Amino acid sequence: MRSKIKIQVRAIIHNKKGQILKTYPWKNANSLIKAFIQILMVQMSYANQTIKDTSNVNQSVPAAIMNLYAMAGAATTTYGILIGSGTTPVAMTDYKLETQITTNVAHGAQEIALQNPNASTWRINLTRVFINNTGGTLGIKEVALYLCAISTLYFFCCERTLYAVDVPDGYPITFIYRITITL
């Protein structure tokens, strides 16, 4: 058997009554970038690494229990699943969304679920809802997963994917990151 890891993202738009308006298919994200492997190195080696944070500052990151923290609270715009309007192709050296969208967009609390759909598959679903309060159509072009190193309160972009979706004014959109391992 050959084990594999797969990262996917999907969006679901609901109408104002909470009914599903449109479900987008799962898209392979698999755009883990440099900061992810650097944080993993810190955790596995228990040795500091210098990692570029989302402010474009090189930070010395020590090993800590919560360096992979993604559970952003409501209204948090510094980590968790985040959205943007940039269209530049993903590069290994990316350290943030090209153009993060925060103005007039409500950011819901991050949720997480562990699933075991069959004997050879385990996965984590990270979910976050955003509500478009811009007064017009919200053009999302990129989505990312930012992690927080709680011990230092540094924020790192660990995954960025181009993902185009338009959200009508007043409507919520749910983004789901699914990280799956299979044998």
> What pLDDT does residue 96 have?
97
71 residue type, one letter: M
Boundaries of every domain in the chain:
4-182
> What pLDDT does residue 15 have?
92
> What pLDDT does residue 142 have?
97
> What pLDDT does residue 30 have?
66
**Residue position matching structure tokens 């949720």:** 111
> What pLDDT does residue 1 have?
61
Terminal CA-CA length for the chain: 6
pTM: 0.94
Per-10-residue mean pLDDT, the chain, length 183: 87 94 92 90 90 96 88 97 97 96 98 96 97 98 95 93 97 97 93
DSSP 136: S
The answer to whether 175 and 83 have CB atoms below 8 angstroms apart is: yes
